[in-house]
Structure 1
Amino acid sequence: MSNLYSPLPRYIQNSQVAKNERPPPVSETTRKFVPKFVMGSIGSTSKDPAKIYATKIKDKVMLLDNPLKSSEEKKKRIILKKKVKTMSAKEKRQTRTYEIPKECHKYELFVPLHELWLQYIEELHGKSNPNIFGQKLLKADFHGAILTVSKSKCASYIGITGITIQETENMFKLITKDNSMKCIPKGHSIFTFQLRDHMFTLYGDQFRYRSAIRATKKFKNKPSIDL
């Protein structure tokens, strides 16, 4: 049986570790077989396997198997994993991680976001019919959308229009043209937005999910019940 080992590079052969080890014998058949075998293996994925062999494989030490980890290394990894700690929801509220500072409550700052959202929603709509687009809206991102509260059980919310700058599980936060941020509950509210020549309606009660969960959730067809 032929030996498949090829000679190591000179800098490895001259190292102290290599001198203490006896190199395996390499036959002339092996010297010719290995390059042909490697180039034949990568030939289906590359137009120039000889160039890849010469630049990336020849005279280089390659690890062909995953070495076993020592028990000490495993313990260190476990300790590092335990040290990594994420913030709890309470800590995020206390540090106001997601709070938008008052100096940023300016309508003009979010106009570019609205323009980006228009491009996004146009691509999402494409040439789809109203029923298919309605299903897409359930999973769409509304950061940057200009929403209007058309109906609400709280009369003071009706008529508020603004760019959506933040969405939570139960709330849309809108920035109005007079540079004030309004927090509108999704529950018991109906929102509208305009795209092209059509007006679309969002029933807030059906959107009471976090946007990340809503993007992956499978929705069932339910009748829309007015307020």
Structure 2
Amino acid sequence: MIPISLSALLSGFTLGASLIIAIGAQNAFVLRQGLKRHHVFVTACICTLCDAILITLGVAGFGTIVTSIPLLALIATWGGAAFLLIYGLRSFRSALHSASLEVDATQPPPPSIQATALTILALSLLNPHVYLDTVVLVGSIGAHYPLEQRSSFAIGAMSASFCWFFGLAYGAAWLTPLFRKPLAWRILDCIVGVVMWGIAGSLIWSALVH
């Protein structure tokens, strides 16, 4: 049985929560899936699993390996920026045609579960900021704990991701009355587009500066 350190558990949960509770590409997609009620469980589950895997790698010491390979970081930066620019463009285009939450025959069918899963994986794994937060930052802080307490720290950080993604995905239903208005969707799509392009811009800037 793995010994549990309450202090390390709480520290990991607090750090994980502080990093994940922010407006970002991944969170914006989860919110939209929750509002649309499209593959909500799959969305939250994949996001949580991706974070859990990256946190495990970070606490296990993989973060130092990633930071020692500049080419890998460069590829991840430009690949992530390209994906976010394209997804942001899709959000701006969607803002021009946003409908309400009322379902009718003119609305396109929701994306398949395979397409949804691929989008989540791309948003979760093609953004270098995710690696900086989970693998590098969480991993480096977790490395300061004694070996027997690192698992508790990692479990705490993973628990924060679980609570946040499932809470955001299923809690979005409370906003359903607001998003019965097309204007609300246009505003959300514009915010998502700005967030995507903002993150992409920061990635490109960091690549050019360094």
Task: Give the TM-score, by structure 1 length.
Answer: 0.22
Higher Rg of the two aligned structures: 1
Between Structure 1 and Structure 2, the one with more strand by share is 1
Task: Give the TM-score, by structure 2 length.
Answer: 0.24
- If asked which structure has higher relative contact order (CA below 8 Å, sep 6+), I would say 2
Between Structure 1 and Structure 2, the one with more helix by share is 2
